[in-house]
Structure 1
Amino acid sequence: MSGSVYGNLFRISTWGESHGKGIGVVVDGCPAGLDLCEEDIQSFLNRRKPGQSKYSTPRKEEDEVEILSGVFEGKTTGTPISLIVFNKTQRSSDYSEIANYYRPGHADLTYDVKYGFRDYRGGGRSSGRETIARVAAGAIASKVLSQLGVSVYAYTKSIGEYEITSFDKEEIMNNALYMPDATTAAKASSYLEECMLNHNSAGGKIECIVTNLPVGIGEPAFEKLDANLAKAVTSIGAVKAFEVGDGTSVSMATGLTNNDQYSYDNLGSIKKLTNHSGGILGGISDGSDILIRASIKPTPSIFATQSTINKAGENIDVNIKGRHDPVIVPRAVVVVESMVAITILDMMFVSMTSNMDKLKRFFIS
């Protein structure tokens, strides 16, 4: 299986399965001298680990990370950083029944047709637990970015039809849904209760903001900043749509309403009067906040009866067993944030050689 490596200069390689020994990642390209310990990474993993609320799977995993290489005496050495999280409470017997049929909404059929074999224990490589590796790597990327003055943070924008109508950044960590609007979070919670009673699940949207990113990050044509962010975010299994700035609403806009006009402020600095572009023009950052959005599908593992097929060529009805989230969105918030951080840092590294002045400052000054 190819396709488990992402990035150019800040590069990650993820490995592991949901019910295997563990999940891990190798991070290559992290500069030497970064203060880094397991607690830095654990704080990110704690935001996506299961069993934190009634809206997440009851599977109890501490998801404790271990640093195997690349860190000495509390600092990165510049060599590959290898991280591992061992699986400790997997119950593979819960999934033995699905070995002979294909679950609706899952990758069971596509994996089987492509490889002629699949790990049916919790979805194997297609499981949401694969995102542990992304989050661990994202914690490192975020720490490097913070030392460069760049901030990346994400939150739940909507669940079902319940979308935030106010924004309080401090509220994000105060509710189980990671919403910056307490009133909408309460309404969305009631909606999720109804979904659970009906053996159903819900989808939603995650928004991510990058602040203080310098102008000039991103490469024209095939390595555009927005193109790479789209690839990074849509590589997350549950994501079905990606937007930058005004996103799909631009199809109903006009040039006058969609263009971001410019002005000089009192200090002579260039300012945009609006940010419909989401901080990216021509695939390059323009100095405004980067604003992206990801649409997350409902959890496909639901207890309601569904129709499917089995390997014997029969049409059958199934009720999926196991431990599953009624909504993926809250636990996916930090996953989106991590993939954005990894992409932003990688493209900042690439941009260091974009002109002679930058090369001279680095090698001569």
Structure 2
Amino acid sequence: MTEETTTLTGRARPPVRQWPSLDLEGTRFDPVLADLMREGPLTRVQLPFGEGWAWLATRYEDVRAITNDPRFSRAEVTRRQVTRVAPHFKPRPGSLAFADQPDHNRLRKAVAGAFTVGAMKRLRPRAQEMLDELVDDVARIGPPADLIERVLEPFPIAVVSEVMGVPADEREQVHAWTRQIISTSGGTEAADRAKQGLYGWIAETIRARGITDDEDVYSLLGAAVARGEIDEPEAIGLAGPLQIGGEAVTHNCGQTLYLLLTRPQLMQRMRDRPETRGPLLDELLRWIPHRSSVGLARIALEDIELHGMLIRAGDPVYVSYLAANRDPDVFPDPDRIDPDRAPNPHLTFGNGPHYCTGAVLARTQTELLIDTLLERLPGLRLAVPPEQVAWRRETMLRGPLDLPCTW
């Protein structure tokens, strides 16, 4: 049996497909991913950076199975180079993204209290207050206004900073670091400088908090280190991705608002039937292509057969949540935005142990943003033709660069 066969029956492996990181305009679905989905449930890809190739799973049930299966390890990814989207890859100890059980639960426990449903309910009035201040300013100055610059960027950064415990006078610097880290422009040196700046600042902040009764994330981490539940490198690795999470809300909300502004029937539905906004937001979260390509890989710890293919021990495996959210076996007519889709078990926030820690926070911010903008800015609409809206380039998270609006 040759290296290119995958089962005892001698079935050949699928060919390795090149998957460049495309700068796509608007909310267009990645055409390469669409082709890979048509080729089969399990394909092989090579991404722009790293080494070798990786399996790619695109079907909903396979994505759920792999992300719940401890035989596929995130921790192993830190010990080798795999093909990847990011030009820079230096996982830190303590990062939840690269932790397997039981370490994952131990680490997550240190910050879980800041992201519970109860904590988000307590945060909501303060978040609304911060949002109202931004929208007050927009309404006072009057149209037109770039809502990305004026609201959708500063609001999530302010809320995440509030949850994390970033002092107000340091938030702009922290934001500059996180913005550079998720960018694919500037190369490895720029990313390394941003990471050194951010993680150095995080280390100093955690040390300064120590034992305290405060409930912000840096205080929780400082207390956990003082009690010996986690060590300082783990605390730093935990904090970094959580701090960066505000960037995702900006981009996702930008895409969501763009869809409402360019699809009048959806906007009208939002206005006329506010009681159905929750299900419609879920459908938009399912549908928007929130990222470029794929996220983080897993490594098979043993030989595993899937769809007649043998994933060998040591093989890297990616799952695509974007593809899973368009699986026609789970979401009939998946390319259509259906406001009445039910059930809607989308995987936008992930699945399994690595389900997004900040999912409730992200959903809270999205609801506040949409509700407040629709209520405070009557007749909200784009101030330019849709094709003139600029989109972010050379970034792992997709979204509009600006959103000029009038009302």
Higher relative contact order (CA 8 A, sep 6+): 2
Structure having the larger proportion of residues in helix: 2
TM-score, length-normalised on structure 1? 0.24
**TM-score normalised by the chain length of structure 2:** 0.22
